[in-house]
């Protein structure tokens, strides 16, 4: 029997997967085996799509095998070409999806207060070669979709959003999923709402949805009629089962995220040099990530020193999204001229630290993390 490595039981992991409603999941899995239909748009995938559309308030929410594939399908369906403006302060998949489709990513700086793409920075980069804007709802907080929709309309650009972090979030009373031409979710296991692996493309555009449905199933229109260049982007039934099990408990998961975030904020508010993000009244964040910025001068130690202290005590904090997509391959080699024009992005890459949260953590675990942060800060301030 194959022996697999295990993680130490004492580690507190960022984004440790949530199990959802286990009883419901087991019941749904039994049904999969009874029907013996494991993939190819089965009953559970169709049910998940209906439930997602209702939850988000959208016309279409097309399940796919993962969020990266969803982004690639969206880019191809929108016929993006030339240049598309995108933040560098994001997970590499956002930018890879463009590059994979032969589109040149143009990196715009972010707002240092929100960490999201800065509309003013985007507008300065628009040229005749620009065909679109790919915004990111970073940390689950909306990326000013109203401003970007106006900007895209004014300049005749296609607008889509990477909503990998933003399931359950809302802007001005409308859930994320309703903005731009489409929005792409990730349902990876590290997300609070997940399907093991998976994702979805949400849109209110019937024509765009039809194109994505064709492309995700090899371009098949019927049983043996291929009418479009496609790939295999389908979600299997087992993943849809986990999605339905997680939808059953989603409000409890959101409440847990908010509780942990508030506990961290109260416990660490007194320490200079530790900054939490502030959320606007028109936003509804999902609080999936607990994000702090460490000001080395005021805190008395660097972000990396604090991270090392936490790691030494079994706490897996992460320095997302270090060092920025503009400083990783292939982009630092392909687009060297873009490396040194993102001062706010570079600053965040030096300061941001993401703390453990999620349903796998108890309040005592959050307290343990806070105690360790306090110990490190107090030790340096002596």
DSSP for 13-49 reads ETTPPP---HHHHHHHHHHHHHHT--SSS-HHHHHHH
CB 268 within 8 A of CB 274: yes
Confidence at residue 219, expressed as pLDDT on a 0 to 100 scale: 93
Q: Are residues 306 and 236 both part of a single domain?
A: no
* 219 and 265 fall within a common domain: no
Quote the number of domains for the chain. 2
Q: Is the pLDDT of residue 12 over 70?
A: no
- Quote the pLDDT of residue 82: 98
Q: Specify if 9 maps to a domain.
A: no
Work out the widest C-alpha separation in the chain, in whole angstroms. 74
- Token duo for residue 251: 């409000």
Q: Both 275 and 186 in a single domain?
A: no
SS3 content of the chain, % helix, strand, coil (to 5): 40, 15, 40
For the entire predicted model, the pTM comes to 0.94
Cα gap 203→266, rounded to integer Å? 38
Q: Do 94 and 132 lie in a common domain?
A: yes
Q: Which helix (H) or strand (E) holds 263?
A: helix 250-268
pLDDT at 10 over 80: no
Provide CB contacts within 8 A for 279, sequence distance 6+.
Answer: 141, 285
Are residues 336 and 217 both part of a single domain? no
DSSP 202-261: EES-HHHHHHHHHHTBTTBSSSS-B-S---B-PPPHHHHHHHHHHHTTHHHHHHHHHHHH
Instruction: Calculate helix-pair angle for 237-247, 250-268, nearest 10 degrees.
Output: 60
Establish if 11 belongs to a structural domain: no
Q: Are 58 and 183 within one domain?
A: yes
The whole-number pLDDT of residue 382 equals: 53
The pLDDT score that the predictor gives to residue 378 is 87
Residue at a domain's end among 216, 247, 278 = 247
pLDDT value at 233 more than 60: yes
Same domain, 311 and 226: no
Residue at 14 is within a domain: no
Q: What is the pLDDT of residue 2?
A: 39
Whole-angstrom CA distances from 90 to 112, 259, 322 are: 14, 25, 9
Residue 98 near residue 160 (C-beta atoms within 8 A): no
- Here the CATH number for the domain that contains residue 157 is 3.40.640.10
Torsion of CA 303, 254, 96, 351, to 10 degrees: -10
CATH number at 262 reads 3.90.1150.10
Per-residue pLDDT tens over the stretch 91-110: 999 999 999 999 999 999 99
**Does 214 lie in the same domain as 119?**
yes
Choosing from 247, 272, 287, the residue where a domain stops is: 247
Q: Answer yes or no: do 176 and 321 share one domain.
A: no
Structure token pair of residue 61? 């929410």
Question: Which pLDDT does position 7 carry in this prediction?
Answer: 44
Residue 350 counted as domain residue: yes
Taking the chain, what is the end-to-end CA distance rounded to the nearest angstrom? 53
Residue 77: both structure tokens together:
């369906």
Tell me whether residue 7 is in a domain: no
The verdict on 234 and 259 lying in the same domain is: no
Q: Give the confidence band of 320 by pLDDT, cuts at 50, 70, 90.
A: very high
Domain-ending residue, one of 201, 227, 247: 247
Does residue 275 share a domain with residue 141?
no
Torsions phi, psi of 136, nearest 5?
-130, 125
pLDDT of residue 65: 98
| Whether residue 189 sits in one domain with residue 101 | yes
CB atoms under 10 Å from CB of 204, counted, come to 16
Within-domain flag for 269: yes
**Contact (Cβ atoms closer than 8 angstroms) between residue 118 and residue 108:** yes
* Residue at 108 is within a domain: yes
Question: Exposure of 265 by Cβ count < 10 A (0-12 exposed, 13-18 middle, 19+ buried)?
Answer: middle
Tell me whether residue 119 is in a domain: yes
Q: What is the pLDDT of residue 283?
A: 78
Calpha distance 65→47 (Å, rounded): 16
- pLDDT, tens digit, 9 for 90 and up, residues 253-306: 999 999 999 999 999 999 999 999 887 766 789 999 999 999 999 999 999 999
Cα–Cα separations (whole angstroms), residue 92 to 129, 175, 318: 23, 25, 15
Which residue segment(s) compose the domain that 374 sits in? 250-381
Going by pLDDT thresholds of 50, 70 and 90, the confidence category of residue 6 is very low
Angle at 144 between CA 161 and CA 198, to 5 degrees: 30
């Amino acid at each position: 029997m194959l022996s697999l490595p295990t993680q130490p039981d004492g580690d507190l992991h960022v984004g440790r997967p949530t199990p959802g409603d286990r009883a419901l999941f087991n019941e749904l899995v039994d049904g999969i085996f009874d029907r013996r239909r494991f993939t190819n748009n089965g009953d559970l995938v169709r049910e998940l799509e209906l439930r997602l559309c209702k939850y988000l308030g959208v016309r279409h929410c097309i399940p796919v095998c993962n969020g990266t594939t969803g982004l690639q399908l969206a880019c191809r369906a929108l016929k993006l070409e030339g240049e598309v403006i995108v933040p560098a302060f994001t997970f590499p998949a956002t930018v890879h999806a463009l590059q994979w489709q032969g589109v040149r990513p143009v990196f715009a700086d972010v707002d240092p207060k929100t960490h999201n793409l800065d509309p003013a920075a985007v507008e300065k980069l628009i040229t005749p070669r620009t065909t679109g804007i790919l915004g990111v709802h970073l940390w689950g907080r909306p990326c000013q979709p109203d401003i970007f929709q106006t900007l895209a309309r004014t300049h005749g650009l296609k607008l889509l959003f990477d909503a990998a972090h933003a399931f359950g979030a809302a802007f001005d009373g409308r859930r994320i999923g309703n903005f731009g031409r489409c929005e792409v979710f990730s349902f990876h296991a590290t997300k609070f709402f997940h399907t093991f692996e998976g994702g979805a493309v949400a849109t209110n555009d019937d024509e765009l949805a039809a194109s994505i449905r064709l492309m995700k199933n090899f371009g098949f229109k019927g049983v043996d009629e291929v009418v479009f260049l496609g790939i295999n982007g389908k979600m299997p039934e087992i993943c849809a089962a986990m999605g339905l099990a997680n939808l059953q408990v989603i409000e409890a998961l959101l409440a847990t995220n908010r509780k942990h975030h508030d506990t961290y904020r109260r416990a660490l508010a007194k320490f200079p040099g530790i900054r939490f993000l502030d959320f606007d009244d028109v936003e509804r964040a999902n609080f999936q990530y607990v994000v702090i910025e460490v000001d080395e001068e005021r805190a008395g130690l660097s972000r990396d020193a604090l991270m090392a202290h936490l790691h030494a005590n079994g706490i897996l904090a992460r320095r997302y999204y270090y060092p920025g997509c503009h400083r990783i391959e292939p982009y630092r080699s392909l687009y060297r001229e873009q490396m040194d024009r993102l001062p706010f992005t570079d600053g965040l890459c030096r300061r941001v630290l993401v703390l453990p949260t999620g349903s796998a953590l108890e309040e005592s675990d959050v307290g343990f993390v806070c105690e360790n942060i306090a110990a490190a800060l107090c030790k340096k301030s002596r």
